[in-house]
Structure 1
Amino acid sequence: MKPLFVYDDELLKYRFSDTHPFNQMRLKLTKDLLMDSDFLKESDLVKPRTATLEELELVHSHDYISAVQKAGHGELSHEDEIKYGLNTDDTPNFQDMHEKCSLIVGASLTAVDLVMSGATKQAVSLAGGLHHGFQGKASGFCIYNDAAIACEYITRKYAKKVLYVDTDAHHGDGVQWSFYARNDIVTYSIHETGRYLFPGTGSATERGTEEGFGYTVNIPIDAFTEDDSFIEVFTESLEKAIQKFQPDIILSQNGVDAHYRDPMTHLSLTSKSYEKIPRFVKEMADKYTDGKWIALGGGGYNIWQVVPRMWSQIWLAMKDIDAPRGYLPDQFISSYKDQCQVLFPNKWEDDLDDYMTIPRKIEITEKNRSTLDRILMYFDQ
């Protein structure tokens, strides 16, 4: 069964403002790059549906959803905006906010249903991965938490055990806290330490509570971590987690903001890591979950130089296509180069002309290895 790609131009309308760093134009850039390269066909595309109120309430409170509905029509009081984390610098209100956010959630659920119904074994919905939303509060550019809703939806509708894998540079806090006392949804997040980065959580000692103790896995890595250290920590820990928890399906959040050119984080990954991450997840899915894998998007704030090329690797991994080398298609470059106000990339792989080697590389690698060893010890308990 061929993988499927959930997309519609309507998903681009999740847009806070023209100056906000969260810009869903990155979705279209990725889709166009894949199509111009002849890696993605119209027959691969599936239109998303809109999530229902009942589906939103799998994670979010009724009062919060009502507040989002009102905020999207300018009807929410300032007092309630503060209460629900709305109309902040991170999550400013915008017209028809509820409807546009519900489509993002629906796109992720569309991908879930495609896989769980047997239409395919692997599906991608890059519009999703909004992992900072809480039950009753918006946070970190995220209003509705489609990733958490998708996890809950799988357990409720299909009675399957989910492993949520989050490789965003920011800790997947909203998903973690949604299931912190649960043992049917395992949350795994590898991220930059919260010492210098939002949301400041995700320490290795956050392991869950009550029935969920041990079912939360956090791997904080040091600022300026480079490819080899990240790949070592990620691959060793993820396979151990899968072996321990034996999930039925993997749902991954694929933020690409750990890239060295991303303006909002302090990690130093290159295209090498983003070629490896989805191919390793696919390997794990093929080996342990009968191939069942749903991939969402996530962070990524350099929409020209980073996101399209890195996100394309998720689809290419699903298609069993090796990471391309050499020049991007002429059609893609001619379509977008003049719109770009930075140096437009012309190759699939990073050129690394602006990459600075980190003087503390050995120290950082050793510290990350120590964190990994501690996590591996937890798996043996």
Structure 2
Amino acid sequence: MVIYRDEYRLYNFGPDHPFSPVRLEMLTSLLEALGVWRAPLSPPEASREEVLSVHSERLVKRVEAASRGELYPDLPEYGLGTGDTPVFPGMDRAARILVGGTLEGARRILAGEKRVLQLGGGLHHAQYDRASGFCVYNDLSVAIRHMTRAGLRVAYVDIDVHHGDGVQWIHYEEGEVLTLSLHESGRYLFPGTGHVYEIGRGAGLGKKLNLPLEPFTEDESYLEVFEALVPWALKAFRPDVLVVQAGADAHYLDPLADLLLTARAYERLFRLLLEYAEAYAGGRVLFTLGGGYSLDGTVRVWTLLYHVFHGLPLPKRLPEGWLRTWEARLGKPLTPTLHDPEGAYPEIPRREEIAKRNRLTLQRLTELVAPHLLH
């Protein structure tokens, strides 16, 4: 099942902001041009009460006021009106529409659907009391809480290049939520968190896992630690459902980060996540989108996700008409294939050192959480 509505594109911080609704316009137009677009389920927007299941009344009131043009001087205390998260008219409704899509995915899982792809959302930085990092409301946490209140154990896997901090902190003391984030180290990248020692508190102790990766990590090292960590943690936790934030900003073309994944690595990750859902979560998985700021790389990664999700054969080349249209609109060439060309970037001289450091980080993480997770 795919969930999407065109009004997701109302979530728009302006023409020069990297979190651009053009990403969704390009993605859906490419899927249509490839002949694989199937009519999605159009979800309702989330209610105010549903947003309040994970956010404070104070934050919601400030978002509502800012949406009407009432700009209180304390907006920056709530993460609003900043360079990252500027205010715009109708922001509250636009954010609730995205929340509604992910929440509808959770409802469908509870109703018996096994696989759901929400073509939007993934706003993992939003905190209980504060917007952050392009994220106003946390759609992922609203969906997770909806499922845990229904008695499900939820494993959240975040492959965005930035730490999934909002989801982690909202569920930090919850034993029924496993959060697992692989990201570029917070020593180098926003939000500066996601260290291995952030492992949860109280009932959540040992159920919050972070694997901060070295800048310039490539496919082989990333997949090595991913395949060592994720099934190990899922087998120990025994979830009822996976929730996956499928950010595309670890791609080597991304301008806001320093990991070097190619589209081939993403294809492998998506296939593995579907396998892990079958092996450890009864086949139940809810995917969302997330970050991704190279239009060329991001749209191809999410097109791969759509194909892998549906078990479709991959096209050898993108449609010429689509390429011409978007190259003219963007004023630059686009990669004509889903996969990246060979030798897409210069060889990294520290490759072995980076891989070794990532292995050591994985070892430290598993040693920290094993006493709590494996019991």
Q: Which band: TM-score by shorter chain? A: over 0.9
SS for the counterpart of 1:177 is helix
2:62 matches 1:67:
yes
Partner of 1:369: 359
| Unpaired runs of at least 5, structure 1 | none
1:326 corresponds to 2:316: yes
**1:147 offset after TM fit, Å?**
0.9
Residue number among 116, 125, 136 corresponding to 1:143 in the alignment: 136
Equivalent residue in structure 2 for 1:50, among 45, 56, 63: 45
* Distance in 2, Cα, partners of 1:116 & 1:166: 21
Question: How many pairs align?
Answer: 371
Q: Which residue of 2 aligns with 1:273?
A: 265
Determine if contact 1:166/1:190 at 8 Å carries over to the other structure: yes
Of 337-346 and 228-237, the range deviating more from structure 2: 337-346
How many angstroms apart in 2 are the aligned matches of 1:262 and 1:350? 13
Q: Note closer, same or farther for the CA distance 1:332–1:114 as it changes in structure 2 (3 Å cut).
A: farther
Letter in 1 for 2:283: G
State the secondary structure of the residue aligned to 1:310: helix
Kept in 2: contact 1:91–1:139 (CA 8 A)? yes
Contact 1:259–1:269 (8 Å) recurs in 2? yes
Which residue of structure 2 lines up, in the alignment, with residue 134 of structure 1? 127
Q: State which of 111, 115, 120 in structure 1 corresponds to 2:105.
A: 111
Paired with 2:165 and 2:21, the residues of 1 have a C-alpha distance of 22
Scaled by the length of structure 1, the TM-score of the pair is 0.94
Q: In 2, are the aligned partners of 1:11 and 1:103 still within 8 Å (CA)?
A: yes
In 2, the alpha carbon distance for the partners of 1:251 and 1:200 equals 23
| Cα distance, 1:326 vs structure 2 | 2.3
Q: In the alignment, is the contact (CA less than 8 A) between 1:240 and 1:379 conserved in 2? A: no
Give 1:194 deviation, angstroms. 0.6
Q: Is the 8 A contact 1:244 1:379 kept in 2?
A: no
Aligned to 1:154: 147
Instruction: Tell me whether 1:94 sits opposite 2:88 in the alignment.
Output: yes
Write out per-residue CA displacement over residues 290-319 of structure 1, whole angstroms, 9 at most, x where no aligned residue: 21000011110011x111110122222221
Taking structure 2 as the reference length, the TM-score comes to: 0.96
**Which residue of structure 1 aligns with residue 332 of structure 2?**
342
Partner residue of 2:209?
217
SS in 1 for 2:82: coil
Whether contact under 8 Å (2:249, 2:292) holds in the other structure is: yes
Q: Which segment is superposed worse, 348-357 or 172-181?
A: 348-357
Aligned mates of 2:258, 2:291 — CA distance in 1: 13
Deviations 1:78-104 (A, max 9, x none): 2x2122111100010000110110001
Q: Does the aligned pair in 2 maintain the 1:256–1:307 contact within 8 Å?
A: yes
Supply the distance in 2 between the matched residues of 1:352 and 1:69 (Cα, whole angstroms).
48
Residue 173 (structure 2) aligns with:
181
CA contact (8 A) 2:198 2:208 kept: yes
- 2:261 maps to amino acid: L
Q: Is the 8 A contact 1:24 1:127 kept in 2?
A: no
Listed as ranges, the matches of 1:204-243 within 5 Å are: 204-243=196-235
Say whether the 8 Å CA contact 2:197–2:368 is kept in structure 1. Answer: no
What is the CA–CA distance in structure 1 between the aligned matches of 2:77 and 2:360, rounded to whole Å?
A: 40
Amino acid at match of 2:79: G
User: 2:327 aligns to what SS in structure 1?
Assistant: helix
- Distance in structure 2 (CA, Å) of the matches to 1:354 and 1:239: 30
Structure 2 CA distance, aligned partners of 1:8 and 1:193?
34
Whole-Å Cα distance in 2 between the matches of residues 330 and 342 of structure 1? Answer: 15
Structure 2: gaps of 5 or more residues:
none
> How far is the alpha carbon of 1:28 from its aligned partner?
2.2
Offset, 1:277? 1.1
Answer yes or no: is the 8 Å Cα contact 1:162–1:251 preserved in 2. yes
Q: Provide the residue aligned with 2:285 in structure 1.
A: 293
Report if the CA contact (8 A) 1:237-1:375 is conserved.
no
Do structure 1's residue 317 and structure 2's residue 328 form an aligned pair? no
Name the % identity: 37
Q: Secondary structure at the match of 2:325?
A: helix
Offset of 1:40 from its aligned partner? 2.4
2:154·2:240 contact (CA, 8 Å) conserved in 1?
A: yes
CA distance in 1 between counterparts of 2:258 and 2:240 reads 34
Say what the alpha-carbon RMSD is for the aligned residues.
Answer: 1.3
- In 1, the alpha carbon distance for the partners of 2:30 and 2:114 equals 23
In the alignment, structure 1 residue 25 sits paired with structure 2 residue 22: yes
> What's the CA shift for 1:39?
2.3
Pick closer, same or farther for the CA change 1:178–1:276 going to 2, 3 Å.
same
- C-alpha distance in 2 between matches for 1:13 and 1:353: 38
Query: Equivalents in 2 of 1:348, 1:310: separation in Å?
Result: 8
Using the alignment, how far apart are the partners of 1:161 and 1:191 within structure 2? 23
Q: Is the 2:96–2:137 contact (alpha carbons within 8 Å) kept by the matching residues of 1?
A: yes
The answer on whether the counterparts of 2:125 and 2:164 sit within 8 Å (CA) in structure 1 is: yes
Aligned residue for 1:337, secondary structure, equals helix
